[in-house]
A and B are shown apart, each in its own frame.
Chain A
Amino acid sequence: MRAGGVMYDLFIAPFVEFAFMRRALAGALALSLSGAPLGLFLILRRMSMSGDAIAHAILPGAALGYLVAGLSLPAMTIGGLATGFAVAMLSGVVARWTTLREDASLAAFYLVSLALGVVIVSLRGSNVDLLHVLFGNVLGLDDPTLMLLAAIATATLAGLAALYRALVIETLDPVFMATTAGRGAFAQLAFLALLVLNLIAGFHALGTLMAVGLMMLPAAAARLWTERLDAALALSAALALAASYVGLVASFRLGLPSGPAIVLSAGALYFVSLVFGRAGGLVRFASRRRHLEA
C-alpha cells in the first residue's frame, strides 16, 4: 500500500487537488486525440516542414489580434487563422510557380513569421506576454479556450474520418487518385484546413514554438512501432496523451515550464522508439544480421 500511496501522490494527487491541472489535462487530451493523428499524415505526406512553417505563421496573426485586443481568445484565434491559412496557401503556390523548392520557401516563411510576430507583440506587451505567446499557457486554460480545443478536436476527428480514404490514396498514389476519384486538390485543402485549426489549438495551449511538438513527436514515434496505419493513428494519440500526462506531472513536481515539459516527454518517447521501435528502430536493424531462409 505504501508504494501505492507514493504513486497516488506522484501521479494522481495533483489532478485531484488542483482544478488547473485537470483543465490542463483535458486540454492536452483534446490536442492529443486530434493533433497526433494529423501529425502522422503530415509525416506520411512528408510535410513536417510545412507543419512547422504554418505553426509559426499563426504567430503574426495572433500577435495582431493581441495588439488590437490584448490577450483575447477570439481576436488571437481569428488573426492566427488568417495568417495560418495565408501561409498554408502561399507555400503551395510558391512551390508550384517559382523555382525555389518548397523547403526553402517554408524556411523563409517560418523565419519571417517568427520575427514579425515577436516584433508585433513587443510593440505593446511585456516579456511575460511574449513568453505566453511563444510557449503557451497550458496551466491557465479558461473555459472558452477549453471549449475551443474540444470543438477543434471533435471537428478534426470527424474531418479525418471523412477524408481518410482520400488522404490515404492521395498520399500513396496521387496519379491513381487523379484518374479514379479526382478531388485530390480538395483532400489536400481540407487537410491543410484541419492542420491550421489544430495548430491554433496547439498555439493556445503550448504556444507557437511548441505547438508542432505534440503533433509530430508522438506521430513519428508511433510510426516506429507499427506498419499498420490504423494502429499507428491510435498509438500516436495514446503516446501524445501519455507525454502530456507525464509532462504535466513533471512540470508540477519539478517546477518546469509545462509546455516544454510536455514536448520533452514526447521527445523522450520518440528517442526510445527510435532505438527500440519494432517497425524501423535502430535495435531492429542491428539485430537483423541473420536472415531467414526464405
Chain B
Amino acid sequence: MTRPIDLYDVTLGYDGHPAVHHLSGAFAPGSLTAICGPNGAGKSTLLKGVAGALKPVGGRIDLHGLTARDIAYLPQAADIDRAFPIDLYDMVALGGVQKQGLFGRISACAAVGRAIEAVGLSGFERRQIGALSGGQTQRMLFARLMVQDASVILLDEPFAAVDARTTGDLLAIIAGWRAEGRTVLAVLHDFALVRAHFPQTLLIAREKIAWGPTSQALSDENLALARRMSEAFDEAAAECERAA
C-alpha cells in the first residue's frame, strides 16, 4: 500500500513557537528523501508530525488513508531502557506489534531471523540489549524496523553515532526498502552521504528552503540561505502574520 504523503501549509511546534512553519509539498510513494537543514531547523519535529506523534499547530498532513500501522518511526538516539532484561531476538520480534498490536499473536519467527541476519547480527540473538555496542544497537533497531514491515519508514539521524562500515550496511538496507517500494524519509547531516544515496532532498530551516532532486536542493545558494534563516531565530518573535 504505497500512497503519497501530502503536506498542506503545515506548521509544527511546541508551546506556540513553531519549529517549522507553512510547509507544503508531497513525499511521493516509494520515494527516498533526505531531510536536511541546520540544527533547530525543525527536521525531527517534521518527522514526529508525519509519525503522528505531534499534532500540527496549523495546516494538514494528508496520509491518504495510511494509519499508524503503516508507518514505522525510528527516533533520534532512541529512548530505550538498555538496562531492561530482554535479549536481541525478543527486541527485534517486538517489531511484530506494528501489525499484530498488543494482543495479536507475533508468529513472525522467520521474519525475525531474516531481519537479524540481514543486519549482520546472526549469533547475537540471545545477547542482552544492554551488552550491545552503539553500532550493534542501531543494527538491531533496523532489524526491528524490517519486522515492522511498514510502507512508510521514518529515520531520525540513523547514522549519528555509527561507524562507516555500519553506515554502509544500513544504507544497503535502506536501498532494499526503496527497491521494495517503501517510502523512506531520513533526517541526515552528512551532505556527501545524502548526495551519494538519496535521490530526493527536503532542505528546511524552520521553513522550506528547497524540495526536489538532491543535486538541485543542496545547491550552494540554498545551503547559504538555510544557514542565514536558522541564524534569524528570535525568541521574542511576533505572531506569524502569514495567511494560514
Contacting A175 at CB < 8 Å: which of B79, B84, B94, B103? B79
A165 & B102 in contact (Cβ 8 Å cutoff): yes
Determine the distance from Cα of A168 to Cα of B90 in the docked complex, in whole angstroms.
11
Shortest Cβ distance from A46 into B: residue: B81
Determine the distance from Cα of A198 to Cα of B75 in the docked complex, in whole angstroms.
36
Interface check B53, CB cutoff 8 A: yes
Contacting B128 at CB < 8 Å: which of A165, A180, A227? A227
Given contacts A175-B79, A227-B128, A228-B85, contact A169 B94 (CB under 8 A): yes
B51 & A179 in contact (Cβ 8 Å cutoff): yes
How close is A233's CB to chain B, nearest CB, in angstroms? 10
A179 & B71 in contact (Cβ 8 Å cutoff): yes
Interface of A, helix, strand, loop or mixed by DSSP: helix
Interface check B217, CB cutoff 8 A: no
B79 & A180 in contact (Cβ 8 Å cutoff): no
Determine the distance from Cα of A229 to Cα of B78 in the docked complex, in whole angstroms.
22
How close is B193's CB to chain A, nearest CB, in angstroms? 25
> Looking at chain A, what size class is its interface with the partner chain?
20 to 34
Interface residues of B in 86-119 (CB under 8 A from A): 86-87, 91, 94, 97-98, 101-103
Interface mask (A170-185 → B, CB under 8 Å = 1, otherwise 0): 0111111011111100
Interface check B142, CB cutoff 8 A: no
A171 & B84 in contact (Cβ 8 Å cutoff): yes
A-B contact count (CB 8 A): 65
B101 & A232 in contact (Cβ 8 Å cutoff): no
Determine the distance from Cα of A182 to Cα of B69 in the docked complex, in whole angstroms.
10
Given contacts A173-B79, A181-B97, contact A168 B53 (CB under 8 A): no
A180 & B78 in contact (Cβ 8 Å cutoff): no
Determine the distance from Cα of A238 to Cα of B114 in the docked complex, in whole angstroms.
37
Determine the distance from Cα of A202 to Cα of B69 in the docked complex, in whole angstroms.
41
Determine the distance from Cα of A228 to Cα of B85 in the docked complex, in whole angstroms.
6
A172 & B84 in contact (Cβ 8 Å cutoff): yes
Interface check A82, CB cutoff 8 A: no
* Residue numbers in A under 8 Å from B102 (CB-CB): 165-166, 169, 181, 183
Interface check B80, CB cutoff 8 A: yes
Contacting A173 at CB < 8 Å: which of B52, B71, B78, B128? B78
Shortest Cβ distance from A228 into B: residue: B85
Determine the distance from Cα of A219 to Cα of B68 in the docked complex, in whole angstroms.
35
> Looking at chain B, what size class is its interface with the partner chain?
20 to 34
Interface check B73, CB cutoff 8 A: yes
Interface check B148, CB cutoff 8 A: yes
Determine the distance from Cα of A168 to Cα of B129 in the docked complex, in whole angstroms.
14
A174 & B79 in contact (Cβ 8 Å cutoff): yes
* Residue numbers in A under 8 Å from B52 (CB-CB): 179
* Residue numbers in A under 8 Å from B85 (CB-CB): 44, 223, 226-229, 232
Determine the distance from Cα of A176 to Cα of B86 in the docked complex, in whole angstroms.
15
* Residue numbers in B under 8 Å from A166 (CB-CB): 102
* Residue numbers in A under 8 Å from B73 (CB-CB): 175, 179
How close is A187's CB to chain B, nearest CB, in angstroms? 8
Shortest Cβ distance from A44 into B: residue: B84
Determine the distance from Cα of A175 to Cα of B81 in the docked complex, in whole angstroms.
11
Interface mask (B143-173 → A, CB under 8 Å = 1, otherwise 0): 0000010000000000000000000000000
Given contacts A168-B86, A180-B98, A181-B101, contact A175 B71 (CB under 8 A): no
Interface residues of A in 201-240 (CB under 8 A from B): 223, 226-229, 232
A180 & B97 in contact (Cβ 8 Å cutoff): yes
How close is B171's CB to chain A, nearest CB, in angstroms? 23
* Residue numbers in B under 8 Å from A183 (CB-CB): 102
Determine the distance from Cα of A162 to Cα of B103 in the docked complex, in whole angstroms.
8
Shortest Cβ distance from A174 into B: residue: B79
Interface residues of A in 140-196 (CB under 8 A from B): 162, 165-166, 168-169, 171-176, 178-183
* Residue numbers in B under 8 Å from A229 (CB-CB): 85-86
Determine the distance from Cα of A181 to Cα of B98 in the docked complex, in whole angstroms.
7
Interface residues of A in 62-108 (CB under 8 A from B): none
Shortest Cβ distance from B129 into A: residue: A172
Determine the distance from Cα of A226 to Cα of B148 in the docked complex, in whole angstroms.
29
User: Can you offer 15 A-B residue contacts whose CB atoms are under 8 A?
Assistant: A44-B84, A166-B102, A168-B86, A169-B94, A171-B81, A172-B80, A176-B78, A179-B72, A179-B73, A180-B68, A182-B68, A183-B102, A228-B85, A229-B86, A232-B85
Q: Which are the 6 A-B pairs with shortest beta-carbon distances?
A: A179-B73, A172-B84, A227-B85, A173-B80, A166-B102, A229-B85
| Given A169-B94, A174-B79, A180-B97, 13 other A-B residues pairs in contact with their CB atoms under 8 A | A44-B84, A166-B102, A168-B94, A169-B102, A172-B81, A172-B91, A175-B79, A176-B78, A179-B51, A179-B71, A179-B72, A182-B68, A228-B85
